[in-house]
Amino acid sequence: MIDKIIMQKIIETANIVEVISEFVTLKKRGSNYVALCPFHKEKTPSFVVSESKGIFKCFGCGKAGNVVNFLVQHEGFSYTQALKWLANRYNIPIEEKPLSDELIKLYNEREKLLNANKIAADFFVKCLWNTKEGKTIGLAYLLERKIPEDLIKKFGIGYSPSDNKAFYNYAITHKLEPEILIKAGLINKNYNDIFSGRIIFPIYSIGGSIIGFSGRLIDNKEGSPKYINSPETEIFIKGSNLYGIIQAKQSIIKHDKCYLVEGNFDVLAMHKMGLENTIATLGTALTENHVSLIKRFTKNVTLIFDGDDAGIKASLKNIDILLKEGMYVKAVTLPQNEDPDSLSKKLCLLDFQNYILNNEEDFLDFKLKVLLPTGNIDPIKKAIISKDIISSLALINDSILREIYIKTFSKKIGIDEKTIIEQINSIIPKSFKENKQFNFNKSPITNLKIPEYVVDTFIEEIEFELLRIIINYGNEKFIVNIENNPYKDLSVAEIIIYELISDNLTFNNQIYKKIFEKIYKQIEKYKYIDVDLLKYDEDLEVQETIAKLLSVPYYKGSNLHQSDVLYSKFFSKLKIKMHKENDILENIVFQLLNMYKYQILENTLSKYQKRLEEAEKFNVSNEEIDNILLKINEINDLKKKIASQMNIVIKYSF
């Protein structure tokens, strides 16, 4: 366990330019360094390293982060492995933090379990290749299933003899404790081997340690399970580990893509057919922890479904789990009654690869094909399935991508886009609205109260800009010339938080919201934002987003022959020109908050105008129409007030 002080010393000592230079050729450009991006193919350098901020960002593929994050993404290290690599690079001795007796016992047990698994794996491999039983039964079975020898060795596959004392006797000669063997799931309480007569697939951690085993029965004895997996231990949790990840990670990084299949033999088949960026879950449903592990190497996942209708429908929930974690999802359906293993035996390598590539389809098309086959026009079923797909669309964080999907789905299903958007807005969780700790007595600085019936819509561009202001200037005092100013002792971050919470507004982009929550907790506890803590947050997606928020937010322009004018990417779209952002920070905050509320009101107004049209069309009661008109008038009044404030407060030229 690396002491936090040592960890901080490593982070402070490591020079991001020196480290990245060991993997990429950097060239000096102004105050930064540029290079061809190591994460995607490009001809023009778009990979930028800022030595002063300690971050990198590719403006082509969007990868970003700090020095530790670079090693995690580029080399496939765990966070701890990356720290140790840096410590070794800068000759920083790592002093392990003194542990309590309880932790010492836990770590000792972990080491014993890892050692037992390593010895067991060596035993199983020797039995497969060096014993008569292993060769005639185990190896023969694998070769019969068309698994080449080099692949058997690559995955460390072994064989456990039918003698149910064979491994136990071997383990005792290596001085392994029976209690540890029982806990590791290698023997039972009678000291009999658990995996007797089975093909053994070792399961590796991302760091390369053997953490468990999966045993496949060869002769399919009646009453015996086909597969037996190691029990969950301190080192092995099924819902957090993936089969084949150690063998696939470099290929996943190289291709920026991951194939997800169902079983061990499917993984082997895909590797055999040249698709080495393939992994599988360990007999469990896909979990958020699985996706977090995949996300360390890519955000692009293609699910390979067996040609079995029942199995496909049961696995559809995997799509939502992936979407929720910000992944880009595609799917391939194999021919009826086929899986990757069986199909690999019928097609040559080229035909197999072509089938996978040519039959890959977007998750939306895939779900529509599965849930709503051509010719099915039952209105009730169509409505139920539409809600199912809309719930998937609501999980997409990328607003542009979501909008494209909404347009596509609207055309395919024949439902108005606005109706889909309304449904999505009703689904998106609003954790701040449900959180009772956010009780603010002070009035918002805009002196406007957004009615509760106004829907908090997804406006990612302004969300990003508000969060960028908080990250870059959040600790600065908010200075505004108002008599008896009640906010004179508040920071920029506090002002923005007060404004949003007072109107029950929050960020709808899930990663922005996560960062916003972390910032709120810092403000609440310390009255201060520690950006370095966020830069090195344990969540890699938080690290990447913080790096993007800290990246240079301007580009050079000119105004009235002045070459030093800077444009914010956001404000440049509005043709707003500025010299130094922090010189007019208070005005920018007012502008953004007003824009945010104005856009939310605009979206809500459209919704109620549509309701009014429908009400008049279907002859609803005058009372209902009056209620709608009342809200429309109230929204219009608020829009006028905001527009008026923007004209008074903001003195920019549009």
| Residue 451 in this model has a pLDDT that exceeds 80 | no
| Residue 126 in this model has a pLDDT that exceeds 90 | yes
* Overall average pLDDT of the 387-399 stretch: 86
- Which of 73-87, 110-124, 371-385, 612-626 has maximum average pLDDT? 110-124
More confident residue, 163 or 575: 163
More confident residue, 620 or 225: 225
pLDDT at 366: 92
* Overall average pLDDT of the 617-638 stretch: 82
pLDDT at 428: 61
- Which of 173-182, 471-480, 570-579, 633-642 has maximum average pLDDT? 173-182
More confident residue, 485 or 467: 467
Share of the chain above pLDDT 90, in %: 33
How many angstroms separate the CA atoms of 1 and 131, rounded? 41
Q: Which of 102-106, 151-155, 337-341, 403-407 has the lowest mean pLDDT?
A: 102-106
pLDDT at 446: 57
- Residue found under tokens 């539409």: 386
* Overall average pLDDT of the 387-406 stretch: 86
* Overall average pLDDT of the 469-474 stretch: 90
pLDDT at 421: 85
* Overall average pLDDT of the 252-259 stretch: 91
Fold of 101-236: DNA primase DNAg catalytic core, N-terminal domain (3.90.980)
**Comparing C-alpha atoms, which of 453, 456, 450, 452 is closest to residue 421?**
456
* Overall average pLDDT of the 458-486 stretch: 77
pLDDT tens-digit series, residues 321-346: 999 888 999 999 999 889 999 999 99
pLDDT band (50, 70, 90) for residue 597: confident
* Overall average pLDDT of the 373-388 stretch: 79
More confident residue, 487 or 600: 600
Q: Which of 131-135, 375-379, 387-391, 501-505 has the lowest mean pLDDT?
A: 375-379
pLDDT tens-digit series, residues 300-319: 999 998 877 666 776 788 99
Length of the chain: 654
**Comparing C-alpha atoms, which of 286, 244, 294 is closest to residue 267?**
244
363, 371 in Cβ contact below 8 A? no
pLDDT band (50, 70, 90) for residue 500: confident
- Residue found under tokens 């709120």: 520
pLDDT at 371: 85
More confident residue, 578 or 89: 89
CA distances from 112 to 100, 192, 345 (A): 18, 19, 41
Q: Which of 13-27, 92-106, 488-502 has the lowest mean pLDDT?
A: 92-106
HEC assignment per residue over 64-130: EEEHHHHHHHHHCCCHHHHHHHHHHHCCCCCCECCCCHHHHHHHHHHHHHHHHHHHHHHHHHHHHHH
pLDDT at 437: 36
pLDDT band (50, 70, 90) for residue 289: confident
| Residue 561 in this model has a pLDDT that exceeds 60 | no
pLDDT band (50, 70, 90) for residue 576: low
How many angstroms separate the CA atoms of 147 and 341, rounded? 10
- Kindly report the number of other CB atoms within 10 A of residue 288's CB atom: 13
pLDDT averaged over every residue in the chain = 82
pLDDT at 199: 97
More confident residue, 454 or 228: 228
pLDDT at 44: 85
pLDDT at 443: 38
CATH node for 245-371: 3.40.1360.10
pLDDT band (50, 70, 90) for residue 434: very low
- Residue found under tokens 């991951």: 258
pTM: 0.61
Instruction: For 4-89, give the CATH class.
Output: alpha beta
| Residue 164 in this model has a pLDDT that exceeds 90 | yes
What tokens appear for 117 in the block?
A: 């698994």
440, 581 in Cβ contact below 8 A? no
| Residue 474 in this model has a pLDDT that exceeds 50 | yes
More confident residue, 577 or 211: 211
pLDDT tens-digit series, residues 545-558: 898 888 755 433 33
By DSSP bridging, strand 32-35 and strand 27-29 are: antiparallel
pLDDT at 176: 93
**Comparing C-alpha atoms, which of 333, 307, 348 is closest to residue 146?**
348
447, 477 in Cβ contact below 8 A? no
| Residue 648 in this model has a pLDDT that exceeds 50 | no
